[in-house]
């Protein structure tokens, strides 16, 4: 699976007949993010949310009608991707401290 397909999978834009974003847009955002797939997916999802938010809630022609995607659920997915990215950026590094302390009684004295 190439980078573009991975981004599409993360954002849920996998409908090949009517995608929300053209391949060229995703590729541009991939390039802008330094080819970091998760960052590009976040940018793409923000673009999709903006695009959907500017459309009418529904349209109707005769007996046919269509409702737009739920922006709130997309924003929830966006927050999930941001949290996933932040978790990768800020992983804790274990630190071992050596001390000459024999017991912790001096800490208790602070609260007396």
pLDDT in tens, the chain (112 residues): 899 999 999 999 988 888 989 999 999 999 999 999 999 999 999 999 888 877 767 778 888 877 766 778 788 888 988 888 888 776 666 776 666 667 767 677 777 6
Distance CA 40, CA 17 (A): 22
Distance CA 30, CA 34 (A): 6
Domains of the chain: which residue ranges? 1-78
Distance CA 89, CA 111 (A): 37
Nearest to 78 by CA among 47, 33, 32, 37: 47
Look up the pTM and report it.
0.62
Q: For residue 23, what are the β-bridge partners?
A: none
């Amino acid at each position: 699976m190439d980078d573009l397909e991975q981004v599409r999978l993360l954002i849920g834009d996998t409908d090949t007949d009517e995608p929300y974003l053209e391949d060229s847009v995703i590729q541009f955002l991939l390039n802008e993010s330094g080819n970091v797939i998760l960052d590009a997916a976040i940018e793409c999802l923000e673009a999709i949310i903006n695009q959907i938010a500017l459309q009418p809630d529904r349209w109707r022609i005769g007996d046919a009608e269509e409702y737009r995607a739920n922006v709130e659920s997309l924003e929830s997915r966006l927050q999930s991707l941001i949290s996933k990215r932040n978790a990768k950026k800020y992983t804790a590094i274990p630190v071992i401290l050596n001390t000459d302390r024999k017991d912790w009684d001096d800490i208790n004295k602070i609260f007396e």
